[in-house]
């Protein structure tokens, strides 16, 4: 298997996994949380690298701690989550940078962790992504309907006797697992593109959650493979190219669906600004 | 006393350290003040998106016009973000957070792709991401001073309409304030501060300067003037301490610490101390206020209301 083939397979697998989970991220309105998690996972990656541990184990263990912390914080009724997330995000990232800067070869490694190096992935990375893919699939098969119920009617979900905290924990841990396997390929900063953009693209074409998931997976796999191909053809950073490809796909979908049936079926969203008061 | 002098004053004998200190003091105070606006309007995610989206502007500006092009490039990218974001969130099928995430990563990735075409790619990328506080020039200091002055004047002049819009949007509209325009001004101010800080502390760490001091001020008090002053002081002093610590550790303990990131960790540490102190204070106050009916008052007095 040549590095480019491995990178292609990694991009396709990661696209499929990211596409599957991204629908949950978007319907639960977790993009900012995901962004914070990607940044906060970064010191875990650095610590694992410094201690010579397995990257996935180190980052995964650190990530679990962060998930638990965020869950605890978000249970406080008086908490403004965006500020708390912003603090976790910048703190985690700075910690990672300080840890890295104490070491030789600082800038090169830092680049690998922030924007990824998909051309260096090997069979262990592919196996890790595939394993997380199974985890995501299992979650969606076992708890898919419940996740939708919880997303669209949280009060009803609790009233029906389910335990939202347990389901949230499962979802957040799964998201963290996807982040951990995405970091070597696309880096800590761009991982959020894998976890949000596919569903944002699919959301423009359909309202059906199953169709959305299928579309998201297709879009993500396509963008991943196209990104790797373009990056090797023109010798540019692969993680960046994959992300730009998803951005272009989003923009194209936006233009293609402008004024289409899907958007007209709903009344326009109430403008937050509202019409100016009549004199 | 001597140790404190050694740590906090001595490093700044060198002109390059003095310039770095002045830049960080100005940026810290400015970002702390503007941070209060971000905190009140809950714009943390938008701010983070801006810090990422100015990155391609920084790269393009640098490629086209060298060091001098960075400011202009970042400014253009910041304004483009504000416009695109406003347009995107009007789309019925695009939620604001998804739009922000897609914009943020796509813009950032364009920057990465462009940088990766250069030789010496990794060093450049690091400089753009984390800034070069130790190579600040006098020209940059003047630029920062001008931006800080302009932003503070706008904040002072528009203080009332901005506050009214923040706390009672519909009321402000009814009272005849141009709410949409005020939103644009708010986003513009945040973008300007991000742009001004980019070269010194880098795109990644601006967010901490903008969010953490104000959040700490909020823990300490619930009176707006107190929060604003505390945030400005915290931002400036964390810049000083962080710079001094990173210098001291790098020089005397053989452990190189990135200055920008050290400043952020100092900010986070102060925030943690404030949170812990607040919790202890609340416990004591709660015990004192044992009779019924005063629990709510006690929590208000110790700043345990809403935003944290």
Q: Domain of A221: which CATH number?
A: 1.10.3470.10
Distance from CA of B100 to the nearest CA of A (A): 8
Residues B2-301: name the CATH superfamily.
ABC transporter involved in vitamin B12 uptake, BtuC (1.10.3470.10)
Question: Is a pLDDT exceeding 50 seen at residue B5?
Answer: yes
From the list B99, B117, B211, which residue is nearest A83 (CB)?
A: B211
From the list B112, B215, B258, which residue is nearest A87 (CB)?
A: B215
pLDDT at B287: 60
Question: Is a pLDDT exceeding 80 seen at residue B122?
Answer: no
pLDDT at A275: 45
Instruction: Please report residues of A whose CB lies closer than 8 A to that of B187.
Output: none
Whether ipTM tops 0.95, in short, is no
Instruction: Please report residues of B whose CB lies closer than 8 A to that of A240.
Output: 109-113, 116
Question: Is a pLDDT exceeding 50 seen at residue B301?
Answer: no
Torsion region of B95: left, alpha or beta (phi above 0 gives left; psi -120 to 50 gives alpha): beta
Q: Is A270 inside any structural domain?
A: no
Please tell me which residue, B180 or B254, carries the higher pLDDT value.
B180
Instruction: Please report residues of A whose CB lies closer than 8 A to that of B48.
Output: 32, 35, 86, 89
Three-class SS of residue A19? helix
Question: Is a pLDDT exceeding 80 seen at residue A278?
Answer: no
pLDDT at B119: 63
Instruction: Please report residues of B whose CB lies closer than 8 A to that of A262.
Output: 93
Residue of A182, A163, A185 lying closest to A174 (CA atoms): A182
Distance from CA of B268 to the nearest CA of A (A): 6
pLDDT at A221: 92
pLDDT at B289: 53
Q: Which domain holds residue A192?
A: 3-259
Q: Is A117 inside any structural domain?
A: yes
B44 and A83 within 8 Å at the Cβ level: the answer is yes
Distance, in Å, from the CA atom of A134 to the CA atom of B256, rounded to the nearest integer, reads: 42
Instruction: Please report residues of A whose CB lies closer than 8 A to that of B205.
Output: 90, 93-94
Q: Is A24 inside any structural domain?
A: yes
Q: Is the pTM of this model over 0.90?
A: no
Mean pLDDT value of segment A31-37: 82
Which burial class, exposed, middle or buried, applies to B285 when counting CB atoms under 10 A from its CB (0-12, 13-18, 19+)? Answer: middle
Spatial contact of B159 and B33, defined as CB atoms under 8 Å apart: no
pLDDT in tens, B268-298: 888 888 888 877 877 777 665 544 443 333 3
Work out how many domains chain A is built from and give that number: 1
pLDDT in tens, A131-179: 888 988 888 888 888 888 887 887 888 788 777 778 888 888 888 889 8
The tokens of A114 are what? 């922030």
Which burial class, exposed, middle or buried, applies to A64 when counting CB atoms under 10 A from its CB (0-12, 13-18, 19+)? Answer: middle
Q: Within chain B, how many helices (H) and strands (E) appear?
A: 13, 0
B112 and A268 within 8 Å at the Cβ level: the answer is no
Distance from CA of A277 to the nearest CA of B (A): 7
Cβ-Cβ pairs closer than 8 A, A with B, add up to 218
* Chain A residue at shortest CA distance from B267: A91
B109 and A243 within 8 Å at the Cβ level: the answer is yes
Instruction: Please report residues of A whose CB lies closer than 8 A to that of B120.
Output: none
* Chain B residue at shortest CA distance from A250: B102
Spatial contact of A86 and B48, defined as CB atoms under 8 Å apart: yes
Tell me the domain boundaries of chain B: 2-301
B102 and A34 within 8 Å at the Cβ level: the answer is no
pLDDT in tens, A44-68: 877 777 777 777 777 788 877 777 7
A240 and B110 within 8 Å at the Cβ level: the answer is yes
Question: Is a pLDDT exceeding 80 seen at residue B196?
Answer: yes
pLDDT at B123: 64
Q: Give the max Cα distance, chain A.
A: 72
From the list A101, A108, A269, which residue is nearest B92 (CB)?
A: A269
Distance, in Å, from the CA atom of B89 to the CA atom of B92, rounded to the nearest integer, reads: 8
The tokens of A235 are what? 């010798």
Q: Is A278 inside any structural domain?
A: no
pLDDT in tens, A238-256: 888 888 899 999 989 888 8
Instruction: Give the whole-number percent of chain A exceeding pLDDT 90.
Output: 5
Write down the mean pLDDT value for chain A: 79
Three-class SS of residue A114? helix
A250 and B106 within 8 Å at the Cβ level: the answer is yes
Distance, in Å, from the CA atom of B106 to the CA atom of B93, rounded to the nearest integer, reads: 19
Residue whose entry in the numeric block shows the structure tokens 């009140």: B40
* Chain A residue at shortest CA distance from B212: A87
Q: What angle do CA A22, A28, A33 make, to 5 degrees?
A: 75
């Amino acid at each position: 298997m040549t590095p480019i083939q491995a990178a292609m397979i990694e991009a396709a697998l990661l696209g499929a996994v990211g596409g599957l989970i991204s629908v949950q991220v978007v319907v639960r309105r977790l993009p900012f949380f995901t962004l914070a998690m990607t940044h906060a996972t970064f010191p875990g990656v650095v610590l694992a690298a410094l201690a010579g541990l397995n990257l996935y184990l180190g980052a995964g263990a650190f990530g679990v701690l962060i998930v638990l912390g965020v869950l605890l914080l978000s249970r406080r009724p008086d908490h403004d989550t965006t500020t708390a997330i912003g603090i976790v995000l910048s703190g985690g990232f700075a910690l990672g940078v300080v840890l890295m800067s104490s070491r030789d070869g600082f800038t090169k490694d830092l680049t690998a962790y922030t924007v990824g190096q998909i051309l260096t992935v090997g069979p262990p990375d592919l196996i890790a992504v595939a394993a997380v893919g199974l985890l995501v699939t299992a979650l969606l098969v076992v708890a898919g309907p419940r996740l939708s119920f919880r997303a669209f009617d949280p009060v009803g979900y609790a009233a029906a006797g389910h335990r939202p905290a347990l389901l949230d924990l499962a979802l957040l841990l799964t998201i963290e697992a996807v982040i951990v396997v995405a970091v070597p390929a696309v880096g800590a900063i761009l991982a959020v593109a894998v976890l949000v953009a596919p569903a944002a693209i699919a959301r423009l074409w359909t309202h059906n959650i199953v169709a959305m998931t299928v579309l998201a997976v297709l879009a993500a796999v396509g963008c991943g493979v196209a990104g790797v191909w373009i990056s090797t053809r023109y010798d540019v950073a692969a993680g960046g190219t994959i992300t730009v490809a998803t951005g272009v796909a989003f923009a194209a979908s936006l233009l293609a669906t402008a004024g289409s049936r899907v958007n007209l079926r709903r009344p326009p969203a109430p403008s937050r600004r509202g019409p100016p008061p009549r004199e | 006393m001597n140790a404190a002098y050694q740590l906090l004053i001595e490093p700044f004998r060198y002109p390059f350290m003095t310039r770095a200190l002045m830049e960080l003091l100005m940026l810290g105070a400015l970002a702390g003040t503007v941070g209060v606006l971000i905190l009140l309007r809950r714009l943390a995610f938008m701010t983070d998106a801006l810090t990422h989206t100015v990155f391609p502007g920084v790269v393009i500006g640098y490629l086209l016009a060298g060091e001098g092009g960075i400011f202009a490039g970042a400014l253009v990218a910041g304004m483009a973000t504000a416009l695109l974001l406003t347009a995107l969130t009007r789309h019925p099928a695009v939620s604001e957070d998804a739009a922000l995430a897609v914009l943020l990563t796509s813009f950032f990735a364009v920057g990465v792709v462009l940088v990766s075409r250069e030789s010496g790619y990794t060093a450049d990328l690091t400089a753009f991401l984390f800034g070069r506080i130790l190579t600040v020039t006098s020209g940059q200091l003047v630029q920062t001073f001008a931006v800080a002055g302009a932003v503070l004047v706008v904040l002072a002049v528009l203080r009332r309409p901005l506050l009214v819009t923040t706390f009672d949007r519909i009321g402000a509209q009814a009272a005849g304030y141009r709410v949409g325009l005020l939103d644009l001004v708010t986003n513009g101010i945040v973008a300007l501060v991000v742009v001004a800080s980019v070269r010194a502390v880098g795109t990644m760490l601006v967010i901490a300067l903008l969010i953490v001091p104000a959040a700490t001020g909020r823990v300490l008090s619930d009176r707006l003037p107190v929060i604003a002053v505390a945030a400005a002081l915290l931002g400036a002093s964390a810049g000083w301490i962080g710079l001094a610590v990173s210098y001291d550790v790098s020089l005397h303990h053989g452990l190189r610490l990135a200055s920008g990131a050290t400043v952020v960790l100092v900010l986070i540490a102060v925030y943690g101390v404030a949170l812990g102190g607040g919790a202890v204070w609340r416990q004591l106050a709660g015990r004192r206020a044992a009779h019924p009916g005063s629990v709510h008052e006690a929590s208000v007095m110790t700043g345990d209301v809403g935003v944290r």
